[in-house]
Amino acid sequence: MTRRLFASVSAVAFSLATAVAQQPVPASYYQVSFIKAKPGKLTDYEAFLKKNLPGIAKSQIKDGKWLGWAFANVVTPTGSAEEHDLVGVYAYDKFEQLEPEDAPSDTIKSAIKALGFASPEDYYTKRDALRDIVRSEFWRLRTSTTATAGTASKPGDYVVTTFLKMNPGKEADYLDVWKKYSLPIQEDRVKAGKLKSYSMWSVLGATGTESKYDMVSLARYGSFKDLASEDDLAELDKASEQIHPGKDWRQMRRDMVGLRSVYRSEVIKIQDVVR
Residue pLDDT, tens place only, 202-233? 998 755 555 789 999 999 999 988 887 776 77
**Section 122-149 average pLDDT:** 92
What are phi and psi for residue 258, nearest 5 degrees? -70, -10
Q: Is the pLDDT of residue 158 over 80?
A: yes
Q: Is the pLDDT of residue 259 over 90?
A: yes
pLDDT on residue 151? 77
pLDDT on residue 64? 85
Residues 15-49 pLDDT 10s: 344 444 444 456 899 989 999 999 999 999 999 99
- Domain locations in the chain as residue ranges: 6-140, 145-270
pLDDT on residue 45? 96
Q: Is the pLDDT of residue 262 over 70?
A: yes
pLDDT on residue 119? 92
pLDDT on residue 12? 37
Q: From CA 189, how far away is CA 197, in angstroms rounded?
A: 9
**Section 188-211 average pLDDT:** 82
Q: Please give the model's pTM, rounded to 2 decimal places.
A: 0.85
Could you check whether 6-140 and 145-270 share the same CATH topology?
Answer: yes
Q: Is the pLDDT of residue 1 over 70?
A: no
Q: Is the pLDDT of residue 7 over 70?
A: no
* Residue 224: CA count within 13 A, CB half-sphere: 8
**Section 190-209 average pLDDT:** 83
Q: If pLDDT is split at 50, 70 and 90, which confidence band does 130 have?
A: very high
Q: Is the pLDDT of residue 2 over 90?
A: no
Which DSSP helix (H) or strand (E) runs through 144? strand 131-144
| Greater model confidence, 99 or 274 | 274
Q: Is the pLDDT of residue 11 over 70?
A: no
Sign of CA dihedral 132, 96, 73, 9: positive
Q: If pLDDT is split at 50, 70 and 90, which confidence band does 199 have?
A: very high
Q: Is the pLDDT of residue 101 over 70?
A: no
pLDDT on residue 53? 93
pLDDT on residue 250? 87
What are the residues whose beta carbons fall under 8 Å from the beta carbon of 194, sequence distance 6 or more? 226, 229
Per CATH, which fold does 145-270 belong to?
A: Alpha-Beta Plaits (3.30.70)
pLDDT on residue 264? 92
Of 129, 90, 116, the C-alpha closest to 1 is 90
Lowest mean pLDDT among 73-77, 190-194, 225-229, 253-257: 225-229
Pick the CATH number of 6-140 from 3.40.50.300, 3.40.50.1000, 2.40.37.10, 3.30.70.100: 3.30.70.100
Lowest mean pLDDT among 98-102, 107-111, 171-175: 98-102
Across all residues in the chain, what is the average pLDDT? 84
Q: If pLDDT is split at 50, 70 and 90, which confidence band does 9 have?
A: very low
Concatenate the DSSP letters of all residues of 184-216 into one string.
HHHHHHHHTTS-SEEEEEEETT--STT-S-SEE
